[in-house]
């Protein structure tokens, strides 16, 4: 997988629609579900051997309200 492929996957996983749910009303109050998303990425390689390298990322999310 190329580095830009990983970056694009990470961007797709961190959209606003992944953080905020569809608002709904309960007892006259509008509720907007929300989540916390955290992510990170890293990579490395070898100048002498371009095929010797790696890249990865991780994303986690949890409801906050």
Q: pLDDT > 90: what percent of the chain?
A: 15
Q: Which pLDDT does position 28 carry in this prediction?
A: 96
pTM of the model: 0.47
For residue 11, the SS3 value is: helix
pLDDT in tens, 6-25: 777 777 666 667 778 899 99
Residue found by looking up tokens 């109050």 in the block: 29
Contact between 42 and 31 (Cβ < 8 Å): no
Q: Is residue 3 very low, low, confident or very high in pLDDT (cuts 50, 70, 90)? A: low
């Amino acid at each position: 997988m190329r580095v830009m492929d990983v970056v694009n996957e990470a961007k797709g996983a961190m959209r606003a629609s992944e953080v905020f749910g569809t608002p709904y009303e309960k007892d006259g109050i509008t509720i907007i579900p929300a989540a916390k998303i955290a992510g990170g990425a890293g990579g490395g390689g070898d100048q002498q051997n371009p095929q010797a390298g790696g890249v990865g990322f991780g994303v986690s999310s949890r409801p906050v309200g």
